[in-house]
Amino acid sequence: MNSSNERQEISLIIVTHRDIFQWVNQIKGLKEQYQERSAVAWLSPDDMKTLNIEDGDKIKIRNALGTIVVQAKLYSSCPRGFAFMPVGHYSSRLVEYDPGKARLPGFKRIEVSAEATEEEITPIPELQ
Amino acid sequence: MSLVKLACPACGCLCDDIDVELEGNRIKRIENACAKGASIFYSGENPDRRNSCQIDGQEVPLEKAIEEAAYLLKRSSRRLIFGLDSSTLEAQAIGIELAQTLGSVLDDSSSFCQGALIEKILDGTIPSCSLPEVKDNADLLIYWGSNPSHAHPRHLSKFSYYSYTEYNELGWLPKVKLGCVEVRETEVSSLSNPFFKLKPGEDKDFIEAILTAARRSGSNPGEEADEAKAFTELVKSSHFCVIFVGLGLTYALDGDFRLFAEMVQEFNPSTRIAVIPMVGHYNMRGFNQSLYQRIGYVNKVSFAGAISYGDEYSFLEQVRNHLADCVLIVGSNPFSNLPYSIMKELQGVPVICLDPFATTTTKAAHVVIGTAISGLECDGRALRMDGEEIKLTQARVSNYPSDEEVLGRLLDRLSR
């Protein structure tokens, strides 16, 4: 995280996707490698700047359904206001299913707020 | 030392050219498998990853676990059977019979994956074709909301772009164009030309713009976005276009493929279009097709009294509304993959889970029955994503019962 103490919270829409390495590590067991591939959110340069963070810093993501701490990664062509995360234990904490809004769960549209944090990445056992 | 050729149960590609060298009963070498396939085969040999039979976390003999599962199912009045996408056709047939016998609700992952699209293919609303038909015949391949490099790693090399006869690693002049519609840059988008990059959720607007452009005469240019016009021209200039539909499109359309079907119809008959669903679980297509042939629906059914179908019988709705008093999950891991806010509603409901591997779902289950890995430890048949039947062959001796055996024993007990 940058040295500035400014704390900024932003709104994001998370879109989940598949990640083969995360999938493979889920089959192998929910160990460190699985966490490394799952506890990650890819953000736009603008949003990284607003959050005052650098590639690899941690962010706390939350909505009414849950809170997780993951690593933020820079995705240069990510549109501002969006973030990408692998489907799995982390993103599932935040996914809404409300048939009044949509027939399918909101895996491709998770509304959250995000802020920089010094807290540890949410450990997998907390998500099981 | 023996060499066997196997079909891989890691995804809906069901690649049937996996060479496995066995030394005794152990795998020594695997050829042709992708990382997903290899991880399943090799993890099968890791005792830490396999499930024993358990009741409330305590190891029990198979017979005892089956007895407990049968007891729980028998004493319940609102049973829910879920999964079977990673079971053979033979096991699925028994699973469906079990649901009928128990008057249970029956659903699989397709109700929040590709079920809606598969239904439209089965009822003829959306045209499809077999994967072997694609090779050397299709002159335009479009991946839409799908990133096969991560979900179906050998799709391009075995069935589409790189499978063409004229492809040579030293270079080629392809007679086929590769395009993709995607919301982010992926391995496939980097190979595609053109790459139609949409903002998340824009797919429906894009299809509407394509429809408008396609319906306009060529001499009367409209005001649709250039991208939609380019897509329309691309498809119209091809003879045989295959669209591989991934979950990105399915979710963007919220599972409603009517507009997409309209778009496909619009291009036919000047261009032959075939749509192939990028199916995740290796035999989801088999489940959908088996159920459809039997009762006319692909998923979300209730056998309580007359056969009923509807969203209220989806796994998610059943759990959200606390409608089930006993859940049998076969080869699926909803506690990891589905919204936690919904899955926590199952607290207090007995869950029985059949799975070869230890998962978050087996951890939450009251009864766990460790089963054989299809295509390595038990035989059977499955339907590939295009509906083609693939034979699965048992390659090594296993003490684990197959889903077919466990479900058969449950059916036997519960039919008495």
Task: Please provide the DSSP assignment of B191-225 as one string.
Answer: H-SSEEE--TT-HHHHHHHHHHHHHS-TTS---S-
| Beta-strand relationship, B58-59 and B54-55 | antiparallel
- Which of these ranges, A40-44, B57-61, B77-81, B215-219, has the smallest mean pLDDT? B215-219
Q: Is the pLDDT of residue A4 over 80?
A: no
Q: Per-residue pLDDT tens for B210-221?
A: 999 998 865 555
- Cβ-contact B34, B10 below 8 angstroms: yes
Give the confidence band of B416 by pLDDT, cuts at 50, 70, 90.
Answer: confident
* Model pLDDT, residue A104: 97
Total count of residues recorded for chain A: 128
Give the confidence band of B170 by pLDDT, cuts at 50, 70, 90.
Answer: confident
Nearest CA in chain A to B43: A28
Give the C-alpha separation, B13 to B17, whole Å.
11
How many inter-chain contacts (A to B, CB under 8 Å) are there? 113
Average pLDDT over chain A, rounded to an integer: 93
Strand partners, B327: B80, B351
| Beta-strand relationship, B326-330 and B177-182 | unpaired
Give the C-alpha separation, A2 to A4, whole Å.
6
Instruction: Answer whether A67 touches B (CB < 8 Å).
Output: no
Give the C-alpha separation, B404 to B98, whole Å.
11
Give the C-alpha separation, B326 to B349, whole Å.
6
**Among A65, A74, A90, A108, which would you mutate to test the B interface (most chain B Cβ atoms within 10 Å of its Cβ)?**
A108
Average pLDDT over chain B, rounded to an integer: 95
Q: Per-residue pLDDT tens for B70-104?
A: 999 999 999 999 999 999 999 999 999 999 999 99
Q: Which tokens sit at B36?
A: 């997903």
Q: Per-residue pLDDT tens for B386-409?
A: 999 999 999 999 999 999 999 999
Q: Which amino acid is at B134?
A: V
Q: Is the pLDDT of residue B412 over 70?
A: yes
Give the C-alpha separation, A68 to A91, whole Å.
8
Q: Per-residue pLDDT tens for B109-139?
A: 999 999 999 999 999 999 999 999 999 999 9
CA distance B339 to chain A (A): 5
Q: What are phi and psi of B353, to 5 degrees?
A: -130, 130
- DSSP labels for B5-23? EE---SSTT----EEEEEE
**Among B360, B363, B373, B376, which would you mutate to test the A interface (most chain A Cβ atoms within 10 Å of its Cβ)?**
B360
* Model pLDDT, residue B166: 83
What 3-state class would DSSP assign to A25? helix
Question: Buried (b) or exposed (e) across B160-186, using 16+ Cβ within 10 A?
Answer: bbbbbeebeeeeeeeebbbbbbbbbeb
Instruction: Answer whether A20 touches B (CB < 8 Å).
Output: yes
Instruction: Answer whether B201 touches A (CB < 8 Å).
Output: yes
Give the confidence band of A31 by pLDDT, cuts at 50, 70, 90.
Answer: confident
Nearest CA in chain B to A99: B317
- Cβ-contact B176, B138 below 8 angstroms: yes
Q: Which tokens sit at B225?
A: 């976005």
Q: What distances in angstroms separate CA B120 from CA B66, B124, B403, one per listed residue?
A: 37, 6, 29
- Report the pLDDT averaged over residues A81-109: 96
Q: Is the pLDDT of residue A120 over 60?
A: yes
Q: Which amino acid is at B383?
A: L
Nearest CA in chain A to B113: A104
- Report the pLDDT averaged over residues A88-102: 96
Q: What distances in angstroms separate CA B257 from CA A105, B71, B201, B338, one per listed residue?
A: 17, 41, 14, 22
| Whether B184 and A65 lie within 8 Å, measured CB to CB | no
* Model pLDDT, residue B243: 98
- Report the pLDDT averaged over residues B262-286: 96
Q: Per-residue pLDDT tens for B295-322?
A: 999 999 999 999 999 999 999 999 999 9
* Model pLDDT, residue B65: 98
- Cβ-contact B198, B210 below 8 angstroms: no
Q: Give me the CATH code for the A9-127 domain, please.
A: 2.40.40.20
Using alpha carbons, select from B309, B349, B403 the residue that is nearest to residue B77: B349
| Whether B341 and A26 lie within 8 Å, measured CB to CB | no
Chain B residues close to A28, C-beta within 8 Å? 39, 43, 46, 49
* Model pLDDT, residue B224: 60
Q: Per-residue pLDDT tens for B231-257?
A: 999 999 999 999 999 999 999 999 999
Q: Which amino acid is at A95?
A: V
Instruction: Answer whether A23 touches B (CB < 8 Å).
Output: yes
* Model pLDDT, residue B217: 60
Q: Which amino acid is at B3?
A: L
Give the C-alpha separation, B371 to B37, whole Å.
18
| Beta-strand relationship, B2-6 and B308-309 | unpaired
Q: Which amino acid is at B54?
A: Q
Question: Where in chain A are the domains?
Answer: 9-127
